[in-house]
Structure 1
Amino acid sequence: MTSRPPRPRERGIPEATVARLPVYLRTLQALQDRGTLTVSSEALASAAGVNSAKLRKDLSHLGSYGTRGVGYEVEYLVYQISRELGLTQDWAVAIVGIGNLGRALANYGGFGTRGFRIAALLDADTAMVGRRVASLDVGHIDTLEAVVRDKGVSIGVITTPAAAAQAVATRFVEAGVASILNFAPVVLNVPDGVDVRKVDLSIELQILAFHAQRRNGDGGRGAEPAGLELT
């Protein structure tokens, strides 16, 4: 059975706070890269796009309260959040579906510095199997269970077409992977205790289109279809 990232909510941290911790971490790492040693709650909240009261409450769940007149020590807060998110460990990741998106994820260099290691790439297309992508040979989907076992995979990433995603998710779960990141445009059915995070770019674009319409002054309704009358 493979291990999986700790779930901060199990330790009493609200889900909304968990969702904001990666944003704080990214902001703090940018400050760290610039050589900033301490940061006030107001400055950190502004850079992260939240209000300072919410930020202070979020960080209090980690036991970090800052120092009056000084603020937060950037390096230590990076460590606290990284530890809470499980990023001080090495998490092996397997990507299934090595199309354009799968290859882009495999080639992204930022995972390694954030505690994630791409351990395996798998695909059902025999024309793709055996190709070299991001210093890894693409394996066949039929080897998924063996790869999970031999590579110690903790997180599965699905970038397959929608029709294949559920079968891949089921195989991940049966192989002991309880953390799945799904890019396929479909809702996955998984047992209790399995965490699925869904990334649907089309939905995000549709939400942006809604707000763009509102800014353009047409109330979000856009043009009416030809031949239809409003009553």
Structure 2
Amino acid sequence: MSQRQIPEASVARLPLYLRALIDRAEAGVESMSSGELAAAAGVNSAKIRKDLSYLGSYGTRGVGYDVEYLIAQISRELGLTQDWSTVLVGAGNLGQALANYGGFADRGFRIAAILDADPAKVGMTVAGVEVFHQDQAERIIREEDVAIAILAVPGDAAQEVADRLVEAGVTSILNFAPAVIQVPEGVSLRKVDLSIELQILAYYEQRRLVSDDLANGAVRRHLDGLPD
């Protein structure tokens, strides 16, 4: 792991590079230029060279980056060379979908337990993981040495649940709940809001429709001006 502090924006792009590199490694590719990696990750090559320079990786002129070596570098920097025990809070539709997502285990994130406040869900098994009552949070977090929690609870319960998780020793939270929550200094928080992402897509769709309407209107006006 590098000792130099990496900017947050660069850290956010490292998983994109890792996914692209793993895809290419599985296809038998041994080296990639910054341009090829940029195209695969959806960023420009200048950003890639800058981001990877924080890891001390500069590639080889005329050859590019060694794919397997770069995978190892980024994985080490992201802390993916060890397994992380996590708890998933919320066994509703979203929580069950997240529990069934195989990508967590593939990247070293083991869901040690699922927690829920509904007694009717306690005792269920989702994707091979038992559902416990939220009252067991402190015990499970201590026994499983959990640092990361995934929050998939209703918005009105999110802050209270987050507070309890932090008190129990959780230091990182991935929040899928439709609510803005506050955490104390020293606790990392990432939010995934699917409705916001859809609204952003809707904005671009609306712009596309308006652009098409304007273009079609211009064509009609042009045709109207032509002689019969």
TM-score (norm 1): 0.89
1:92 pairs, out of 85, 89, 96, with: 85
Q: Give the equivalent residue in structure 2 for 1:147.
A: 140
Q: Give the equivalent residue in structure 2 for 1:128.
A: 121
Q: Give the equivalent residue in structure 2 for 1:60.
A: 53
Do the aligned residues in 1 keep the contact of 2:4 with 2:54 (CA within 8 Å)? no
2:159 pairs, out of 145, 156, 166, with: 166
How many matched pairs? 212
Deviation track 1:120-156 (CA, whole Å, cap 9, x = no partner) reads 1010111100011111221000000001001111101
RMSD between aligned residues: 1.5
In 1, the alpha carbon distance for the partners of 2:177 and 2:4 equals 30
Q: Give the equivalent residue in structure 2 for 1:224.
A: none
In 2, the alpha carbon distance for the partners of 1:169 and 1:11 equals 31
In 1, the alpha carbon distance for the partners of 2:104 and 2:80 equals 10
Q: Give the equivalent residue in structure 2 for 1:227.
A: none
Q: Give the equivalent residue in structure 1 for 2:197.
A: 204
2:38 pairs, out of 30, 45, 58, with: 45
Give the drift of 1:218. 6.4
Higher helix share: 2
4+ aligned runs moved over 4 Å, structure 1: none
In 2, the alpha carbon distance for the partners of 1:51 and 1:132 equals 44
Give the drift of 1:46. 1.0
In 2, the alpha carbon distance for the partners of 1:218 and 1:171 equals 49
Q: Give the equivalent residue in structure 2 for 1:101.
A: 94
Deviation track 1:1-48 (CA, whole Å, cap 9, x = no partner) reads xxxxx9x8x841111100100000000010011011111111111111
Q: Larger deviation: 110-119 or 202-211?
A: 110-119
In 1, the alpha carbon distance for the partners of 2:12 and 2:76 equals 15
Q: 1:189 aligned to 2:193?
A: no
Q: 1:15 aligned to 2:8?
A: yes
Gaps of 5+ in 2: 213-228
Q: Give the equivalent residue in structure 1 for 2:105.
A: 112
In 1, the alpha carbon distance for the partners of 2:38 and 2:151 equals 33
In 2, the alpha carbon distance for the partners of 1:196 and 1:82 equals 20
Counterpart residue identity of residue 18, structure 2: L
In 2, the alpha carbon distance for the partners of 1:110 and 1:46 equals 23
**Any idea what SS the aligned residue of 2:147 has?**
strand
Q: Give the equivalent residue in structure 2 for 1:74.
A: 67
TM-score (norm 2): 0.90
Q: Give the equivalent residue in structure 2 for 1:3.
A: none
Structure showing greater Rg: 2
